[in-house]
Amino acid sequence: MEVQRIMLRIDYLEFWATKHCNLNCKGCSSCSPIQEEWYLNSETIKKDLNRLKTLQIMIDNINILGGEPLLHPHIDNLFCIVKQAFPNCNLGLLTNGLLLRNMGNDFWKSCVKNKVTLKITCFPVFSGQDIEAIVHLLEQRGVKYHLTRKVRFNKILMENNPSKIDEIIKACGCNHAYNLYNGYVSRCTVPMITEKFNSKFGTQLITEGKLNIYDATAEKILDFLSKPNNSCLNCSAHPQKVVWEKSEKNPSKEDWLIG
Ligand code: SF4
Ligand code: SF4
């Protein structure tokens, strides 16, 4: 019995609360600069999380991300939904922090009640003073937080990729943060953005790499997530480091693609 419980475990699971963002970085892994305004439906995520729970899959860490998740009008309720399904998970919110100073009491109360860790990526739009003010606010509100400064991005996508799969997997930096979106899971955000990317730019990225959680057993889901698949052929074995920049009004495919 104990062996089975260890097997049916996901370390990290992420889901989008929004796809759009208020910062729009070039090369964003959620493709926010080309996404329409989109908000996660509470009933959909409740149903999807309950499906995983019914399958007796344990989840250690759940991160809510975007786009910018603080744009979601019911973000405080999303915290409760996650904790109702998985009360013992470590719940995190990945945010660029720009809206933190505008958040109301309900948000802060829900963060404390649901033991949410705010994982804030500080991009170069923040001055040192901005960061100090945010830290002061977080301390005042008594929430757990983690701040990271980010000045570079990794470009990873490539069409007609010459890299071999074992080299690609060696270079993969997605840290097994699996993605859940609309009844499907994937190993990362790449399979969740390729259709949008192709339709926007007329590219031929491989659109495989998602599994319907309503058609699969727990074992099949975990087996699927544990192995590379054809979607990985969208990623170069030689990611390019690029300096962080805001996206232009009309983003180009080169903001994401190598070569
Ligand atoms: S802040 Fe994050 S979600 Fe928003 S565009 Fe930048 S990388 Fe994407
Ligand atoms: S598609 Fe595969 S190689 Fe690319 S980031 Fe995701 S898991 Fe890694």
- Give residue-wise pLDDT tens across range 20-70: 999 999 999 999 999 999 999 999 999 999 999 999 999 999 999 999 999
Rounded distance between C-alpha atoms, residue 5 and residue 87, angstroms = 17
Interval between CA 189 and ligand 1 midpoint (Å)? 13
**What residue's CA is closest to ligand 1, atom 3?**
67
Residue 74: phi, psi to the nearest 5?
-120, 40
Which ligand approaches the C-alpha of residue 226 most closely? Answer: 2
Q: What is the pTM of this model?
A: 0.95
Residue whose tokens read 């008594």: 142
The tokens 């500080």 sit on which residue?
A: 122
Q: At what angle do helices 105-113 and 128-141 cross, to 10 degrees?
A: 70
CATH class of 2-255: alpha beta
Query: How far, in Å, from the CA of 139 to the mean position of ligand 1?
Result: 24
Any idea what DSSP says for residue 35? Answer: P
Residues 134-171: tens digit of each pLDDT:
999 999 999 999 999 999 999 999 999 999 999 999 99
Find the farthest-apart pair of alpha carbons in the chain and give their distance in angstroms, rounded. Answer: 55
The letter for the amino acid at 157 is: L
CA 102/CA 66 separation, integer angstroms: 18
- Residues facing residue 253 across a β-bridge: none
Distance 99 CA to ligand 1 centre (A): 13
CB contact set of 89 (below 8 Å; sequence gap of 6+): 59, 60, 61, 62, 82, 83
